[in-house]
Amino acid sequence: MFVDFSSRPPSLQFDGPASHLANYRRVYEGTERQVADPSGVDPLTAYLATYERLNARHVVLKARDLTSTFGVKISNEDVAAFCRAHGERYIGFAGVDPHKGDAAVAEFEAAVRELGLRGLNVQGFEHKLNIDDPLLFPLYEKCVELDVPVNIHCGTNFSTHTSMMYGHPAALDRVMMALPDLRVCASPPGWPWVQELLAVAWRHPNIWIGTLAVRPKLLATAHSGYEPLLQYGRTVLKKRMIFGSAFPMMPVEKALREFDALDLPDAVREDWRCNNALAFLGM
């Protein structure tokens, strides 16, 4: 049993060409190629069957609204419809455009109260906003009011259309000092500022770290920069690490195999795989 905290079904695509992510295709070319199914099976059928075969407890899908910056989106309505159609295994997070101000806050509230989405997804580099930008605080405050968590992109990004500095974890520290009751998953896990993210998470008990969009084997690879995640994830932060495959950036089964090969005590492995995500999601 596991929770995949980051997955995008083949049927949930951007509503336009996401040209700002072109460089991601270069960086993840090797693992994305492994996702392709040469058997001719319908991609959505194969996607659903994979999670059924692997006995996934939950799979988190995330909407994104980049209308003001890049003119594309994955709508809340489409994410909610997918979750309704395919059952309680699938959990949706809302995505809104913070540049729309009060309208974005209202849209987020409706996504939770009316569409049944279970959290907020903030990809600051795609909004060209730092994690602690004033435009984001009304959304964070609404998360606290609604008692739902937020996923915040943390670390570098590979888009050459926006700054890598939008994901610096020092800004997350400032958010948590202002809103200590906000429940945050910082994902991906902060590289190249992994040590800084670990310090922020150690300071603030309402921060979890999602190890998604990075091959799990790198956590045990010398000089990768990810090794401290394994060290602290075995000890002081063992209850706040969350697994995610980031499908289709890498195959779900491959990500799980590499994760299961990490040197973790069985109880800690189960926490990373499932229990920590359930706690973060309030389940």
Distances in Å between the alpha carbon of 96 and those of 1, 59, 67, 78, 119?
A: 31, 20, 9, 13, 11
* Rounded CA separation 215/46 (Å): 22
Give domain limits for the chain: 2-281
Q: Is the peptide bond before 188 cis (omega within 30 degrees of 0)?
A: yes
Full-model pTM: 0.95
**Contact predicate 148/118, CB 8 Å:** yes
Give the pair of three-digit tokens for residue 3.
């929770």
**Are 228 and 198 within 8 A, CB to CB?**
yes
Nearest to 155 by CA among 201, 101, 192, 198: 192
Find out whether 189 and 229 touch, Cβ atoms under 8 Å. Answer: yes
Query: For every one of its 283 residues, what pLDDT tens digit does the chain have, with 9 covering 90 and above?
Result: 999 999 999 999 888 888 887 777 786 777 777 776 656 789 999 999 999 999 999 999 999 999 999 999 999 999 999 999 999 999 999 999 999 999 999 999 999 999 999 999 999 999 999 999 999 999 999 999 999 999 999 999 888 889 999 999 999 999 999 999 999 999 999 999 999 999 999 999 999 999 999 999 999 999 999 999 999 999 999 999 999 999 998 999 999 999 999 999 999 999 999 999 999 999 9
pLDDT of residue 18: 81
Give burial (CB, 10 Å; 0-12/13-18/19+) of 33. exposed
Query: Which amino acid type is present at position 36?
Result: A
Phi and psi angles of residue 232, each rounded to the nearest 5 degrees, phi first: -75, -30
Output the pLDDT for position 282.
96
CA distances from 15 to 121, 223, 251, 272 (A): 17, 39, 23, 33
Query: What's domain 2-281's superfamily in CATH?
Result: Metal-dependent hydrolases (3.20.20.140)
What confidence score (pLDDT) does residue 37 get? 62
> What CA–CA distances, in Å, run from 107 to 89, 95, 112, 171?
24, 9, 9, 25
Phi, psi of 185 (to 5 degrees): -110, 115
For residues 251 and 244, give the distance between their C-alpha atoms in angstroms, rounded to a whole number. Answer: 11
Q: What length is written for the chain?
A: 283
The four Cα atoms 119, 185, 103, 142 give a dihedral, to 10 degrees, of 70
